[in-house]
Structure 1
């Protein structure tokens, strides 16, 4: 049996097992947002090697400001929160138990993979160090592994607010998200306006919740049937106007991700540019929903979407490990001069071409890792209380190391 025949058989089997009520467009949007995470990190994250062979993070955005528009496409967390809110609204409405039991189940699904990746790294780090991997490399790797996991904490908080988001959606429809934009705008005015010198730097942290809750609230309103095509058009056009105004008139940084050495960032914590981009993405998603559903009616296109959704947290938690699985050996093979596109400084067009060539390698490594790491997404039925406690302690220890506290 040829590989093509096997793939077709798998796609047909997935098609037969898909319930008729499954919203393929929403699953497709989630898969697209998921794939954007490793693509963005692999493309916009580089390394340099010090004299002792240690790896250090370096960003091509520092040398190529013209790459910033790529972050507008690759930063799709707005879509992720949108479909998260949509799915949560439907799931909450269909629940059979209490709201607390529903939330506990959602948190467990998010927490198991995070606990798994951090516990595994806690065990692997001393082994790698004993094998000769420099401490600088281990700290860089730990930072990269921890870096995407902030999303999980924020997502847990907004998920806990689902009942309140649903009430807001019933009362205000799509406009329930408007006060969240207003809150971010007020904080941005205070930290960037004429009073900036007298405002404490910690004020920016207020934007974390409303900045990311905005798209989630839109998703809840969408799932409750309170946003239609007119709302999609308003979000798309209004978001685009606000986005352009912030860039051209108020001179917000063009990159949606942090740039080393830059005085301002749009992402941590989110600036007003984040909900502006989320509005554009959400409006486009709402308007393209029916067309996307028709495209995904084809079994050959639907099957990859299903697989990606089943491995969602595995992709999020392990994609940086896949890149490191290539970069760490590359730091030994290339020496101080580095391996092109892998451990060389991201300061030339040649680096971009070489990095693009490395990305299929990262993808293959991620697939290989996912075959084993996928089990962390499943319920830990055989795990005893002692094993869970040990995993928790290992994860906590790794977090302390990754955050530079030890």
Structure 2
């Protein structure tokens, strides 16, 4: 089952926010995240807040869109009550789970609720995740007609034995089909990959990268597999049925990804993300990494507005019960202090190709920059221009760089 929610203060039953969230809001954009927590099967590595049919325990998938729409309306009321200026959503992201397990009509109704409640900015980026086997040509055309602009396909690998280890259900040959259909519908396309799966060789990974690049997507994400406690994959590793991921091999796989993607015309803009041009960067994810505001709708979804972070109850049945009763679905929240916000800024902004302004570091952090340049982890030319930008070796050791930039 998914991991536990953070421990923090209880959230008020009405969900109202403190007046402090309005400070500086005119300079921050608003994004909306809609978490659709349903999957046909649970992948062995997955620790996300998702549920298969036999895990719903009283929740009905057919009720979900209506419940999510009620939370969107609640969001509109709470944001207005906090004195925040009207800000149409600049990005909307449907994640999961597998959002496309819902009928397109449900996804369209949820998007319409966002448009009717908080509005959509001109040129808003509207993304849904999808598994290659969860959509067909008609679905993708209908998504585009409903106002979606972008689809992110969970390709993960092009190698059957790797997909089998990950418990992925799609045929690799399905990927070119869905990419073609999405392009015909006028949607931007992102492909998501995972490297470091037990038993995946460097050549297996090259095969997957080559297959992804051949589809000429607008955007590619490549994430190192992390074995989370409590997952089926973790249990198989403990039982000796599959080996642990190899850190050194994962480093080689990352290097190969960056080399092949760069040669194909893609540029990294965040440690695990590459785009054909700045226009195809995920603006929604950039909002997370740069500290903008977002409201997360759905079971277990997290939100952040003006330094206040909160998260919803996790199970769809508990979520539905709170929404039906007219209560906020928030389970807990925290008000971030200045120290925490400064630490998170370093943690997130240093992962970006645009880097972080050196003068935003504490004096102790600024004193570490020269040593990081000498160690080959920070780009010296960028530092002379006043920014901390990771080199490729630095990207592999991003957490260690952050620790040095934020000494206790």
TM-score (ref. length: structure 1): 0.31
More helix per residue: 1 or 2? 1
User: Quick one: higher RCO (CA 8 Å, sep 6+), 1 or 2?
Assistant: 1
* TM-score, normalised relative to structure 2: 0.31
